[in-house]
Amino acid sequence: MSDIVSILERELGAAAIVGPGHERIDDYARDESPLPELYPPACAVLVESTEQAALVLRLCLEHKVPVTPRGA
């Protein structure tokens, strides 16, 4: 899984990646359901455009990495 994180960092820049050990990783460890469990992701990718989102999805598909979309 760290391979895809490295690829995403290279393609989008480190500032776009919230990865393991990042102070905000737990913000992405659950949805808004009332369940108390946290399930931290391998990383969260903060895209700024449709093109970046498409790139992330393409790379994850190529590397067989599951994606859970999240929007605000």
Domain ranges of the chain: 2-62
Contact 17, 45 (CB under 8 A): yes
Q: Is the pTM of this model over 0.85?
A: no
Q: How does pLDDT run along the chain (72 residues), one tens digit per residue?
A: 579 999 999 999 999 999 888 999 988 888 778 888 888 898 999 999 999 999 999 999 999 999 999 877
